[in-house]
């Protein structure tokens, strides 16, 4: 229905000739006679309207213009007018303007011209219908996003109210703090996935290439997802071959691929379910498969399962949670590693299998895999820190944390006050928010570098922006480190333990 060309011509001869041309070209058309029929047919869906100018009566234009004005925002019905009067004929210019998305063909017209105009109109109309579907998926995605964000906000809000109580015992305070930490971690992961999808789709992700043992990928991915699997009381079986199998790629991203698939299986499998992670190796490829006995998928869902805006359709009640961002990210990251991913399911309620195929790499000579460098625990070292953030609560909480870690803290909420404070009190490190109201953090950093007293300070950017361009901007402004909110406190403490000053 959506690719039909509706034909309106007062004389049967015109309609018949035009429909014959369209039929021979394989185009679907429908001849309407009275105006009431054309409006009824338009309501059913149409790719374009073909009309001869004799049919542009006052009554028809009145009703048809009303129809055009009531179109959905995505819709702009193409109209093809066959005219013998020409565009400059008296009164015709105004009529054509009322028709909106109009193409005018002057008689006599060749069949090829008629077909070219019709095909162009249908291509444009097809794109409009595609945009309608994209908008629908985005609406569903945003509804699910709101749902996912409200879930962690609820316990965070409750925990904040609980912490206001004066007589809160230490044990309950620790449990409350743990709840906040877990929920913030969940929200941070959600936002990171959103940003990763955006960056990958725009080609902004660069892989740290290296030879990685696929068994290590499996082990690390399982370790990451184990808390969720245990929480939902799933039984996880892992089957890997006894021999090493190397993959050329980014270890962090490869672990992210498998952990996302495991996380997806855990979410979409009812509590107490079974999940199996299998690794198979041949001379050319490595196949990593995650199979669950969860809710399964219908065939029409499998077809679009890796598309970002279709994931909410898997569970209409949203009880299983998840935006499906992880699956879209999985596909993009696998393709960056020159691999492929596929999903299969016997049907609703019968579980799913996601399989990742990666090209196997051969170790050069006797080279073996490199173990990850061990993270050294930061040694305590008291620093004088200046925290600058116009968000009073954010500055205060960061200051309290760093003070608890043994550092001396100064706090300012404006760039100009911070500039004077730094010149007067000479901190060792400045942690600067970028989005300051009176002067942005990058400009503040340049001012600090320009002052003789503060030019060698360690500058750390604290910001909500984490794109590559944002990192380049802070580096150009003189920052040595760039942290995206919420701050990775463990990494921050490690940096503060071994500060680097400019000399």
Average pLDDT rounded to a whole number, residues 362-382 = 50
Q: Which residues pair with 280 in a beta bridge?
A: 287
Domain that holds residue 91: 5-131
Assess whether 216 and 187 both reside in one domain.
Answer: no
Distances (CA, A) of 419 to 296, 345, 384, 402, 482: 58, 61, 15, 21, 19
CATH number for the domain that contains residue 220: 3.30.565.10
Name the H helices within 451-488. Answer: 468-477
Whether 418 is covered by a domain: the verdict is yes
CA contacts within 13 A on the Cβ side of 2: 12
SS3 category, 243 = coil
Last residue of a domain, one of 131, 164, 190: 131
Task: Examine the domain organization and report whether 215 and 314 are in the same domain.
Answer: yes
Mean pLDDT of the chain: 82
3-state SS, 432-453, equals EECCCCCCCHHHHHHHHHHCCC
Among the three residues 131, 147, 179, which one is the final residue of a domain in this structure? 131
The CA distance from 189 to 204, in Å, is 19
In a domain, 424, yes or no: yes
CA quadruple 119, 123, 124, 129: dihedral sign: positive
205-254 pLDDT, tens digit per residue, is 677 788 999 998 998 888 888 888 888 899 999 998 877 789 999 888 89
Residue 352's beta-bridge partner residues? 292
Please tell me the predicted confidence (pLDDT) of residue 372: 41
pLDDT at residue 106 in the model: 85
Question: What does the alpha-carbon distance between residue 478 and residue 459 come to, in Å, rounded to a whole number?
Answer: 7
pLDDT in tens, 387-428: 999 888 888 888 888 988 889 999 999 999 999 999 999 999
- End-to-end CA distance of the chain: give it in Å, rounded: 72
DSSP state of 377: P
pLDDT tens per residue across span 58-76: 888 888 888 898 888 888 9
Residues 6+ away with beta carbon under 8 Å from 124: 76, 78, 101
**CATH number, position 392:** 3.40.50.2300
The percent of residues in the chain predicted with pLDDT above 70, rounded, is 84
Instruction: Enter the pTM of the model.
Output: 0.47
Model pLDDT, residue 148: 65
Number of domains in the chain: 4
- Show which of 131, 166, 193 is a domain's final residue: 131
Half-sphere exposure of 412 (CA within 13 A, CB side): 22
Q: Write the pLDDT tens digit of every residue in 6-52.
A: 998 877 678 888 889 999 999 999 888 765 577 888 888 899 999 98
**Residue 462 and residue 395 in one domain:** yes
The secondary element (H helix, E strand) that includes residue 80 is strand 79-83
The residue assigned the tokens 């490199």 is 370
Angle subtended by helix axes 111-163 and 170-201, to nearest 10: 160
């Amino acid at each position: 229905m959506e690719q039909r060309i509706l034909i309106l011509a007062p004389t049967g001869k015109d309609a018949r000739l035009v429909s014959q041309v369209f039929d021979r070209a394989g185009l679907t058309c429908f001849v309407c006679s009275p105006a009431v029929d054309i409006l009824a047919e338009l309501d059913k869906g149409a790719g374009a309207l073909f009309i001869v100018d004799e049919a542009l009566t006052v009554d028809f234009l009145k009703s048809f213009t009303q129809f055009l004005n009531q179109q959905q925002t995505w819709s702009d019905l193409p109209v093809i007018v066959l005219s013998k009067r020409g565009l400059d004929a008296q009164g015709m210019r105004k009529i054509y303007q009322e028709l909106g998305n109009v193409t005018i063909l002057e008689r006599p017209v060749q069949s090829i011209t008629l077909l070219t105009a019709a095909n162009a109109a249908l291509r444009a109309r097809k794109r409009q219908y595609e945009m309608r579907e994209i908008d629908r998926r985005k609406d569903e995605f945003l509804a699910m996003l709101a749902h996912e964000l409200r879930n962690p906000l609820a316990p965070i809000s409750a925990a904040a109210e609980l912490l206001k109580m004066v007589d809160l015992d230490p044990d309950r305070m620790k449990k409350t703090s743990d709840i906040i930490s877990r929920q913030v971690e969940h929200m941070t992961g959600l936002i990171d996935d959103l940003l990763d999808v955006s960056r990958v789709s725009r080609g902004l992700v660069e892989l740290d290439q290296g030879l990685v043992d696929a068994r290590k990928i499996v082990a690390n991915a399982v370790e990451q997802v184990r808390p969720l699997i245990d929480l939902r009381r799933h039984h996880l079986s892992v089957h890997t071959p006894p021999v090493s199998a190397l993959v050329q790629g980014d270890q962090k991203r490869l672990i992210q691929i498998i952990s996302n698939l495991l996380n997806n299986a855990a979410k979409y499998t009812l509590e107490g379910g079974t999940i199996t992670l299998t690794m198979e190796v041949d001379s050319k490829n490595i196949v990593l498969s995650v199979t669950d006995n969860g809710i399964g998928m219908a065939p029409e869902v499998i077809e679009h399962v890796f598309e970002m805006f279709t994931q909410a359709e898997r569970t209409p009640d949203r009880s299983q949670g998840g935006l499906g961002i992880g699956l879209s990210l999985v596909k993009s990251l696998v393709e960056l590693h020159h691999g492929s991913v596929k999903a299969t399911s016997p049907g609703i309620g019968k579980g799913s299998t996601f399989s990742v195929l990666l090209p196997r790499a051969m170790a050069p000579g006797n080279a073996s895999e490199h173990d990850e460098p061990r993270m050294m625990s930061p040694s305590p070292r008291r620093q004088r820190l200046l925290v600058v953030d116009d968000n009073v609560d954010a500055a205060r909480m960061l200051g309290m944390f760093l003070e608890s870690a043994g550092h001396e803290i100064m706090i300012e909420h404006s760039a100009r006050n911070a500039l004077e404070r730094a010149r007067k009190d000479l901190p060792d490190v400045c942690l600067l928010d970028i989005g300051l109201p009176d002067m942005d953090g990058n400009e503040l950093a340049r001012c600090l570098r320009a002052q003789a007293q503060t030019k060698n300070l360690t500058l750390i950017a604290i910001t909500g922006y984490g794109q590559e361009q944002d990192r380049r901007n802070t580096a150009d402004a003189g920052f040595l480190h760039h942290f995206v909110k919420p701050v990775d406190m463990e990494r921050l403490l490690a940096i503060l333990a071994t500060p680097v000053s400019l000399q």
